[in-house]
Amino acid sequence: QVQLQQWGAGLLKPSETLSLTCAVYGGSFSDDYWSWIRQPPGKGLEWIGDINQSGNTNYNPSLKSRVTISVDTSKNQFSLKLTSVTAADTAVYYCAREPTNWGQGTLVTVSS
């Protein structure tokens, strides 16, 4: 059973860079795509982007200019960077193996 465990800074100031990492346990990257998804407090789900083991990425156009997703297959990890954050980026960020398994979520708050 694949499990995902994620971590990263939970409190950022405006203009800083959000950085999260997700480790995959109990499986390999194989042919799957690995996503980042976010959920603002009390709101719905927004897909940020995904990556496969070859490093091929897809990004949501709404965030594309600020997002980088990378993969380290030697560590079974993938990461998210979101630059120039504002209060609108405050959300719980989830990593996921499309479409089956999700991480526990990380609340990222952007506040001065």
Interface residues with other proteins (CB under 8 A)?
35, 44-47, 50, 58-62, 94, 98-105
Tokens of 101: 């398994």
Shortest distance (Å) from residue 88 CB to other proteins:
17
Question: Exposed/middle/buried for 54, CB within 10 Å: 0-12, 13-18, 19+?
Answer: exposed
Q: Which CB, 88 or 112, lies closer to other proteins?
A: 88
Q: Which CB, 100 or 112, lies closer to other proteins?
A: 100
Shortest distance (Å) from residue 100 CB to other proteins:
5
Q: Which CB, 67 or 110, lies closer to other proteins?
A: 67
Shortest distance (Å) from residue 112 CB to other proteins:
28
Bond from prior residue into 61 cis (ω within 30 degrees of 0): no
Non-local CB neighbours of 61 within 8 Å, separated by 6+ positions: none
Q: Which CB, 49 or 110, lies closer to other proteins?
A: 49
Non-local CB neighbours of 100 within 8 Å, separated by 6+ positions: 2
Shortest distance (Å) from residue 12 CB to other proteins:
22
- SS3 for 70? strand
